A and B are shown apart, each in its own frame.
Chain A
Amino acid sequence: MKPAPALAEGFPDLSGMRIAREPHWFRWLSAALIVLVLAAIVRAFAGGQIEWSYVSRFLTAKVILEGIVNTMVMAVLAMALGIVLGIVVAIMRLSPNPVLKTVAAGYTWLFRGTPLILQLLLWFNLALVFPTIGIPGLWSARAVDVMTPFLAAFLGLGINQGAYTSEVMRAGMLSVDIGQYEAAQAIGMGRLRALRRIVLPQAMRVVIPPLGNEFIGMVKATSLASVIQYPELLHNAENIYYANSRVIELLIVAGLWYLLVVSILTPLQMLLERRFARGTLRLAR
């Protein structure tokens, strides 16, 4: 065996030399500028016509706390309805049956195509269209009694959410490789079982980030239900400032609560993502 050829001269030994740290002058300068601007804004608000004592007093007022509870109850329930509808509609949309496909597309078109606040008002005022509702001969009731602010908000928000969620779910299902359907079929699974056991669990991994986004949107969208008298956070804050005229203070209170809730939701989403990431990471064992 021949010895390795000698290496050429003229290339100095760099081992032992460290890579120098850059000073990053511009980062320091821009950070200082931003701090200055923020300080100016804080100073302006501190000196503005805001009674901060009202903010701290109403932050934990009973009516406000009830409002945030109602907001969260509505957001969770309406989102649950939206996800159920979204999965069903997405499955219909991807079905080979043209009737199901068209119905699903029509639903998405209708509820994405009109403003949410308009849909809420329509549900709430359903009694103007149908004074009594029910099943002929079995049961009937006055629509005004049935269509409470709670039910109108639940239906309006949930059905609207379903239209958006169906598109998120459809994207998730399309992201699963066609080979997964085929492998499921090859072990004798029907379409629905393959969807439930094989495709949807894999789609969940893809849809959780956008669904987290949608849920955060939902928490804030519940504030629209204030126009139909549902006692959520913004509605209750408004009721207080109608009485005491502390408009800005109470809007700040509501804003702080929305911020807090959304801040808590982000780490929860990460936990969920980890749950559905099973099998996708090359974990060391």
Chain B
Amino acid sequence: MTKPLVAIRSVSKSFGEFQALKTVSLDVWPGEVMCLIGASGSGKTTLLRCINQLAAIDAGGIWLDGELLGVREQGGRLHRLNERAIGRQRLKTGMVFQRFNLFPHKTALENITEGPLQVQGRKSDEVRAEALELLRRVGLSAKADWYPAQLSGGQQQRVAIARALAMKPMLMLFDEPTSALDPELVGEVLAVMKELARSGMTMMVVTHELGFAREVADRVVYMDQGAIVEQGRASDVLGAPREERTKAFLSAVI
């Protein structure tokens, strides 16, 4: 029996008075492509950020590859892990941000090699060869020595995907990867993500691209007000939603 790659159990998270996540539980299975949809403020981005520990959860637990994230249990209590241990856990996930967040003072190639060289301490010629291969995979071989400011939004996001893949993560997290792009640039990023999904990568994608969800997702999760309202196969959730809130959201989006 296989185990879930990510197990989320009764996770809550508040920002001041605002409850972003209300006892959310969810499993993500190896090789699964999951799309999280919902209105802004529904908690889907917060859920991704908690898995990558950019936000610390208030209650509950998240296990990644069988390892409890952010805390360790000792003597019946939970103790926060130190920065180094959290950094080590983060290496299992790759994150792609809405606003790309490429390092503007480094070229496309340097953006990709930064993590493997500086954090993983790997050999430079081997890292460089892998980075060039990743650039080829996202269709940007010709742009290796270009700076982010010289690239279009779509190209920057493809470099950002390559940067995340360079760390060889087990799980890729996409936080609205196409929301900041001009409409004509969305397709090239989605194409790279589809190729990645076909290659068997486990992916959690927060998106408003319902067409992408329908085509690629193994499961669609609809969230509202910090809770999971409905989940299931893309054709079911998007085509024949059972919950009233899901129906209202889908009719507002389409």
Q: Which residues of A contact B (CB under 8 A)?
A: 177, 179-180, 182-191, 193, 197-198, 201-202, 205, 276, 278-283, 285
Central interface residue in B101, B115, B146, by most chain A CB within 10 Å: B101
Give the residue name and chain of the B residue nearest to A189 (CB): B119
Contact with A along B80-110 (1 / 0, CB 8 A): 0001100110110111010101111111000
**B105 near A190 (CB under 8 angstroms)?**
no
Of the four ranges (under 10, 10 to 19, 20 to 34, 35 or more), the interface on chain B belongs to 20 to 34
Central interface residue in A182, A202, A280, by most chain B CB within 10 Å: A182
Q: Give every chain A residue within 8 A of B147 (Cβ-Cβ).
A: 278-280
**B105 near A278 (CB under 8 angstroms)?**
yes
Q: Verify if B230 is at the interface (C-beta below 8 Å from A).
A: no
**A189 near B54 (CB under 8 angstroms)?**
no
Q: Verify if B163 is at the interface (C-beta below 8 Å from A).
A: yes
**B97 near A189 (CB under 8 angstroms)?**
no
Q: Verify if B46 is at the interface (C-beta below 8 Å from A).
A: no
A208 CB to nearest chain B CB (Å) = 13
What is the bound-complex CA distance between A188 and B115, given in angstroms? 7
Q: Give every chain B residue within 8 A of A189 (Cβ-Cβ).
A: 87, 115, 118-119
Q: Give every chain B residue within 8 A of A285 (Cβ-Cβ).
A: 146, 150
Q: Give every chain B residue within 8 A of A187 (Cβ-Cβ).
A: 90, 114-115, 119, 163-164, 167
| With known contacts A179-B101, A201-B105, A186–B149 Cβ distance under 8 A | no
- Which listed residue, A185, A193, A283, touches B150 by the CB 8 Å rule? A283
Central interface residue in B54, B84, B105, B115, by most chain A CB within 10 Å: B105
**B149 near A282 (CB under 8 angstroms)?**
yes
**B149 near A182 (CB under 8 angstroms)?**
no
Q: Which B163-197 residues sit within 8 Å CB-CB of chain A? A: 163-164, 167
**B164 near A186 (CB under 8 angstroms)?**
yes
- Which listed residue, A188, A193, A198, A281, touches B103 by the CB 8 Å rule? A198
**Contacts beyond the supplied A183-B95, A186-B97, A279-B106: 4 A-B pairs with Cβ under 8 Å:** A188-B120, A197-B118, A278-B147, A279-B104
Determine chain A's interface SS by DSSP, over half rule. Answer: helix
Give the residue name and chain of the B residue nearest to A284 (CB): B150
Q: Verify if B231 is at the interface (C-beta below 8 Å from A).
A: no
| With known contacts A188-B167, A197-B118, A183–B87 Cβ distance under 8 A | no
Q: Verify if B157 is at the interface (C-beta below 8 Å from A).
A: no
Q: Which B101-149 residues sit within 8 Å CB-CB of chain A? A: 101-107, 114-115, 118-120, 146-149
**B97 near A202 (CB under 8 angstroms)?**
no
What is the bound-complex CA distance between A187 and B164, given in angstroms? 7
Q: Verify if B246 is at the interface (C-beta below 8 Å from A).
A: no
What is the bound-complex CA distance between A180 and B105, given in angstroms? 11
- Which listed residue, B87, B95, B107, B160, touches A190 by the CB 8 Å rule? B87
**A180 near B101 (CB under 8 angstroms)?**
yes
Q: Give every chain A residue within 8 A of B167 (Cβ-Cβ).
A: 187-188
What is the bound-complex CA distance between A270 and B120, given in angstroms? 36
What is the bound-complex CA distance between A185 and B88, given in angstroms? 10
What is the bound-complex CA distance between A186 and B115, given in angstroms? 9
Give the residue name and chain of the B residue nearest to A204 (CB): B105
| With known contacts A185-B54, A186-B90, A188-B91, A180–B150 Cβ distance under 8 A | no
Q: Which 10 A-B pairs rank lowest in CB-CB distance, beginning with the nearest?
A: A187-B115, A279-B147, A183-B101, A186-B95, A179-B101, A188-B119, A188-B91, A188-B87, A279-B105, A279-B104
